[in-house]
Amino acid sequence: MSDPTYQFTRAITRRPAASVVNGLRAEDIGTPDLEQMLKDHAHYVATLKSTGAEVIELPPLDDFADALFVEDTALCLPQGAVLMRPGAPSRMGEVAEMAPTLRSVYAEIREISGPGHIEGGDILVTGREILVGRSARTDAEGVKELAAIVGDWGHKLREVFTPPGVLHFKTDCSLLDGETILSTERLDASGCFQGYRVIHTAPGEEACANTIRFNDLVLMPAGFSRTAEILDKAGFSVVEINNSECAKLDGGMSCLSLRF
Protein backbone atom coordinates (compact mmCIF):
# COMPACT_ATOMS: atom_id res chain seq x y z
CA MET A 1 0.00 0.00 0.00
CA SER A 2 1.44 3.37 -1.00
CA ASP A 3 1.92 6.24 1.44
CA PRO A 4 0.67 9.51 -0.10
CA THR A 5 2.85 11.57 2.25
CA TYR A 6 6.00 10.66 0.33
CA GLN A 7 5.14 8.34 -2.55
CA PHE A 8 4.25 10.38 -5.60
CA THR A 9 3.61 9.94 -9.31
CA ARG A 10 3.78 13.61 -10.24
CA ALA A 11 5.45 16.89 -9.36
CA ILE A 12 5.14 20.45 -10.61
CA THR A 13 8.16 22.76 -10.85
CA ARG A 14 8.83 26.17 -12.40
CA ARG A 15 12.09 27.33 -13.93
CA PRO A 16 13.66 30.39 -12.28
CA ALA A 17 13.21 33.66 -14.15
CA ALA A 18 15.90 36.29 -14.67
CA SER A 19 13.97 38.45 -12.20
CA VAL A 20 14.83 35.97 -9.41
CA VAL A 21 17.69 38.30 -8.45
CA ASN A 22 14.96 40.57 -7.03
CA GLY A 23 13.37 37.82 -4.94
CA LEU A 24 12.28 38.30 -1.34
CA ARG A 25 14.79 37.57 1.40
CA ALA A 26 14.80 37.99 5.16
CA GLU A 27 18.48 38.93 5.11
CA ASP A 28 20.63 40.01 2.19
CA ILE A 29 23.47 37.49 1.95
CA GLY A 30 24.15 38.09 -1.72
CA THR A 31 22.50 38.21 -5.13
CA PRO A 32 21.57 34.80 -6.55
CA ASP A 33 23.61 33.60 -9.53
CA LEU A 34 20.97 32.75 -12.13
CA GLU A 35 23.24 30.47 -14.15
CA GLN A 36 24.13 28.39 -11.09
CA MET A 37 20.52 28.33 -9.95
CA LEU A 38 19.39 26.99 -13.32
CA LYS A 39 21.98 24.19 -13.11
CA ASP A 40 20.86 23.30 -9.60
CA HIS A 41 17.21 23.43 -10.59
CA ALA A 42 17.88 21.07 -13.52
CA HIS A 43 19.60 18.64 -11.12
CA TYR A 44 16.60 18.85 -8.81
CA VAL A 45 14.14 18.11 -11.63
CA ALA A 46 16.28 15.25 -12.96
CA THR A 47 16.38 13.70 -9.49
CA LEU A 48 12.60 13.79 -9.20
CA LYS A 49 12.30 12.20 -12.65
CA SER A 50 14.81 9.49 -11.73
CA THR A 51 12.21 7.98 -9.39
CA GLY A 52 9.85 7.38 -12.31
CA ALA A 53 7.60 10.34 -11.54
CA GLU A 54 6.22 12.71 -14.17
CA VAL A 55 7.48 16.26 -13.67
CA ILE A 56 5.40 19.10 -15.11
CA GLU A 57 7.95 21.83 -15.82
CA LEU A 58 6.39 25.29 -16.03
CA PRO A 59 8.08 28.24 -17.75
CA PRO A 60 9.63 31.19 -15.88
CA LEU A 61 7.43 34.07 -14.77
CA ASP A 62 9.36 37.31 -15.10
CA ASP A 63 6.63 39.26 -13.31
CA PHE A 64 7.02 37.14 -10.17
CA ALA A 65 10.58 36.88 -8.92
CA ASP A 66 9.77 34.18 -6.34
CA ALA A 67 7.57 32.03 -8.60
CA LEU A 68 10.08 29.16 -8.71
CA PHE A 69 9.03 28.43 -5.11
CA VAL A 70 5.82 26.79 -6.28
CA GLU A 71 5.08 24.98 -3.01
CA ASP A 72 3.71 28.14 -1.43
CA THR A 73 0.88 28.40 -3.98
CA ALA A 74 -1.04 25.22 -3.15
CA LEU A 75 -1.55 22.18 -0.96
CA CYS A 76 -1.84 18.93 -2.92
CA LEU A 77 -3.73 16.06 -1.29
CA PRO A 78 -5.13 12.81 -2.71
CA GLN A 79 -8.68 14.23 -2.55
CA GLY A 80 -7.88 17.51 -4.29
CA ALA A 81 -5.77 20.63 -4.27
CA VAL A 82 -6.20 23.80 -2.22
CA LEU A 83 -5.03 27.10 -3.68
CA MET A 84 -3.25 29.14 -1.02
CA ARG A 85 -3.35 32.86 -0.24
CA PRO A 86 0.28 33.98 0.24
CA GLY A 87 1.15 36.33 3.07
CA ALA A 88 3.66 38.22 0.95
CA PRO A 89 1.72 40.74 -1.21
CA SER A 90 4.19 40.45 -4.11
CA ARG A 91 3.44 36.72 -4.36
CA MET A 92 -0.38 36.85 -4.44
CA GLY A 93 -0.50 36.70 -8.26
CA GLU A 94 1.47 33.44 -8.38
CA VAL A 95 -1.61 31.47 -7.32
CA ALA A 96 -3.63 32.48 -10.39
CA GLU A 97 -0.69 31.47 -12.57
CA MET A 98 -0.58 28.01 -10.94
CA ALA A 99 -4.34 27.40 -10.92
CA PRO A 100 -4.77 26.27 -14.57
CA THR A 101 -2.08 23.60 -14.20
CA LEU A 102 -3.66 22.22 -11.04
CA ARG A 103 -7.12 22.25 -12.63
CA SER A 104 -5.72 20.14 -15.47
CA VAL A 105 -4.61 17.37 -13.09
CA TYR A 106 -7.17 17.55 -10.27
CA ALA A 107 -10.92 17.01 -10.43
CA GLU A 108 -11.50 19.05 -7.28
CA ILE A 109 -9.91 22.39 -6.46
CA ARG A 110 -10.68 24.46 -3.37
CA GLU A 111 -9.17 27.81 -2.47
CA ILE A 112 -8.40 30.01 0.50
CA SER A 113 -10.60 33.04 -0.10
CA GLY A 114 -9.45 35.17 2.80
CA PRO A 115 -9.22 37.47 4.63
CA GLY A 116 -6.57 35.18 6.11
CA HIS A 117 -3.27 34.16 4.57
CA ILE A 118 -1.48 30.83 4.34
CA GLU A 119 1.51 29.51 2.41
CA GLY A 120 2.44 25.93 1.56
CA GLY A 121 5.83 26.28 3.22
CA ASP A 122 4.04 26.28 6.57
CA ILE A 123 2.22 22.98 5.95
CA LEU A 124 3.60 19.54 6.80
CA VAL A 125 1.42 16.56 5.88
CA THR A 126 2.22 13.47 7.95
CA GLY A 127 0.72 10.00 8.04
CA ARG A 128 -1.73 10.99 10.75
CA GLU A 129 -2.45 14.72 10.44
CA ILE A 130 -1.73 18.02 8.74
CA LEU A 131 0.52 20.29 10.78
CA VAL A 132 0.29 24.01 9.99
CA GLY A 133 2.75 26.47 11.49
CA ARG A 134 1.69 30.01 12.22
CA SER A 135 4.33 32.37 10.91
CA ALA A 136 4.83 35.81 9.40
CA ARG A 137 3.25 34.41 6.21
CA THR A 138 0.47 32.24 7.72
CA ASP A 139 -2.09 33.63 10.15
CA ALA A 140 -4.89 32.26 12.32
CA GLU A 141 -7.63 33.06 9.81
CA GLY A 142 -5.78 31.24 7.04
CA VAL A 143 -5.28 28.18 9.22
CA LYS A 144 -8.95 28.17 10.21
CA GLU A 145 -10.14 28.30 6.60
CA LEU A 146 -7.79 25.50 5.56
CA ALA A 147 -8.92 23.37 8.52
CA ALA A 148 -12.52 23.57 7.31
CA ILE A 149 -11.56 22.59 3.77
CA VAL A 150 -9.38 19.60 4.63
CA GLY A 151 -11.85 18.55 7.32
CA ASP A 152 -14.39 17.98 4.55
CA TRP A 153 -11.90 15.52 3.07
CA GLY A 154 -11.41 13.68 6.36
CA HIS A 155 -8.10 15.21 7.39
CA LYS A 156 -7.25 16.35 10.90
CA LEU A 157 -5.38 19.66 11.05
CA ARG A 158 -3.30 20.80 14.02
CA GLU A 159 -2.02 24.35 14.40
CA VAL A 160 1.54 24.76 15.69
CA PHE A 161 3.93 27.70 15.85
CA THR A 162 7.01 28.52 13.81
CA PRO A 163 10.02 29.69 15.88
CA PRO A 164 10.61 33.47 15.91
CA GLY A 165 12.85 34.58 13.09
CA VAL A 166 12.15 31.47 10.99
CA LEU A 167 10.36 32.18 7.71
CA HIS A 168 8.28 29.00 7.32
CA PHE A 169 7.47 26.01 9.52
CA LYS A 170 9.19 23.71 7.04
CA THR A 171 12.33 25.85 7.09
CA ASP A 172 13.05 23.90 10.29
CA CYS A 173 11.54 20.48 9.53
CA SER A 174 10.64 17.96 6.85
CA LEU A 175 9.00 14.57 6.49
CA LEU A 176 11.23 11.52 6.01
CA ASP A 177 8.37 9.00 6.05
CA GLY A 178 4.84 8.92 7.39
CA GLU A 179 6.00 8.82 11.01
CA THR A 180 9.56 10.22 10.88
CA ILE A 181 10.48 13.89 10.88
CA LEU A 182 13.80 15.64 10.37
CA SER A 183 13.84 18.69 12.62
CA THR A 184 16.07 21.28 14.17
CA GLU A 185 16.42 20.91 17.90
CA ARG A 186 14.88 24.35 18.47
CA LEU A 187 11.65 23.39 16.70
CA ASP A 188 11.42 19.93 18.26
CA ALA A 189 11.88 21.54 21.70
CA SER A 190 8.45 23.13 21.28
CA GLY A 191 6.86 19.71 21.64
CA CYS A 192 5.03 19.90 18.32
CA PHE A 193 6.31 16.47 17.20
CA GLN A 194 5.40 14.50 20.31
CA GLY A 195 4.63 10.91 19.34
CA TYR A 196 6.69 11.00 16.15
CA ARG A 197 10.13 9.58 15.51
CA VAL A 198 12.32 12.67 15.26
CA ILE A 199 15.82 12.88 13.78
CA HIS A 200 17.69 16.09 14.58
CA THR A 201 19.89 17.99 12.18
CA ALA A 202 23.51 17.97 13.32
CA PRO A 203 24.55 20.96 15.47
CA GLY A 204 25.38 23.88 13.22
CA GLU A 205 23.58 22.29 10.24
CA GLU A 206 20.09 23.59 10.96
CA ALA A 207 19.94 25.06 7.44
CA CYS A 208 19.47 21.59 5.95
CA ALA A 209 16.26 20.81 7.86
CA ASN A 210 14.22 21.53 4.75
CA THR A 211 14.56 18.34 2.70
CA ILE A 212 11.99 16.28 0.83
CA ARG A 213 11.28 12.58 0.78
CA PHE A 214 10.26 11.81 -2.78
CA ASN A 215 9.57 8.13 -3.38
CA ASP A 216 12.76 6.25 -2.49
CA LEU A 217 14.99 9.32 -2.25
CA VAL A 218 15.63 12.07 0.26
CA LEU A 219 16.67 15.28 -1.49
CA MET A 220 18.69 17.51 0.80
CA PRO A 221 20.89 20.58 0.39
CA ALA A 222 24.54 19.80 -0.28
CA GLY A 223 27.23 20.69 2.20
CA PHE A 224 25.80 19.27 5.41
CA SER A 225 27.84 16.10 5.72
CA ARG A 226 27.07 15.19 9.31
CA THR A 227 23.31 15.30 8.81
CA ALA A 228 23.65 13.41 5.53
CA GLU A 229 25.56 10.72 7.40
CA ILE A 230 22.88 10.57 10.10
CA LEU A 231 20.20 10.03 7.46
CA ASP A 232 22.30 7.46 5.63
CA LYS A 233 22.81 5.48 8.82
CA ALA A 234 19.06 5.66 9.47
CA GLY A 235 18.50 3.87 6.17
CA PHE A 236 17.52 6.73 3.88
CA SER A 237 18.86 7.14 0.34
CA VAL A 238 20.17 10.69 0.24
CA VAL A 239 20.78 12.81 -2.86
CA GLU A 240 22.55 16.09 -2.17
CA ILE A 241 21.63 19.05 -4.37
CA ASN A 242 23.41 22.39 -4.32
CA ASN A 243 21.12 24.98 -2.76
CA SER A 244 23.51 27.91 -2.42
CA GLU A 245 21.52 30.26 -4.66
CA CYS A 246 18.01 29.42 -3.47
CA ALA A 247 19.24 29.78 0.11
CA LYS A 248 19.92 33.45 -0.62
CA LEU A 249 16.13 33.76 -1.05
CA ASP A 250 15.27 31.62 1.99
CA GLY A 251 14.37 28.74 -0.34
CA GLY A 252 14.93 25.02 0.15
CA MET A 253 14.16 21.60 -1.28
CA SER A 254 10.44 21.52 -0.54
CA CYS A 255 9.85 25.03 -1.88
CA LEU A 256 10.76 24.03 -5.44
CA SER A 257 7.94 21.56 -6.17
CA LEU A 258 4.36 20.55 -5.64
CA ARG A 259 4.22 16.78 -5.13
CA PHE A 260 1.26 14.44 -5.52
The residue among 9, 127, 23, 33 whose CA lies nearest residue 72 is 23
Is 255 catalytic? The answer is yes
The residue among 163, 167, 112 whose CA lies nearest residue 136 is 167
Is 155 catalytic? The answer is no
Q: Please tell me whether residue 131 adopts helix, strand or coil conformation.
A: strand
Distance of alpha carbon 99 from alpha carbon 117, whole angstroms: 17
Q: What are phi and psi of 176, to 5 degrees?
A: -100, -30
Sheet bearing 10-14, strands edge to edge: 54-58, 10-14, 258-259
Say whether 72 counts as a known binding-site residue: yes
Active-site residue, from 76, 173, 208, 255: 255
Residue 176 makes CB contacts below 8 A (sequence gap 6+) with 6, 182, 199, 211, 213, 218, 231, 234, 236
Say whether 15 counts as a known binding-site residue: no
Say whether 33 counts as a known binding-site residue: no
**Counting every residue, how long is the chain?**
260
Q: Are 116 and 144 in contact (CB under 8 A)?
A: yes
Active-site residue, from 168, 192, 208, 246: 168
DSSP secondary structure, 34-67, as one string = HHHHHHHHHHHHHHHHTTT-EEEEEPP-TT-TTT
Say whether 249 counts as a known binding-site residue: yes
Say whether 188 counts as a known binding-site residue: no
Say whether 3 counts as a known binding-site residue: no
Distance of alpha carbon 174 from alpha carbon 193, whole angstroms: 11
Say whether 24 counts as a known binding-site residue: yes
Q: Are 232 and 176 in contact (CB under 8 A)?
A: no
Q: What angle do CA 224, 43, 21 make, to 5 degrees?
A: 85
Known binding-site residue numbers: 24, 66, 71-72, 91, 137, 249
Residues designated catalytic: 168, 255
Known binding-site residue numbers for substrate: 24, 66, 71-72, 91, 137, 249
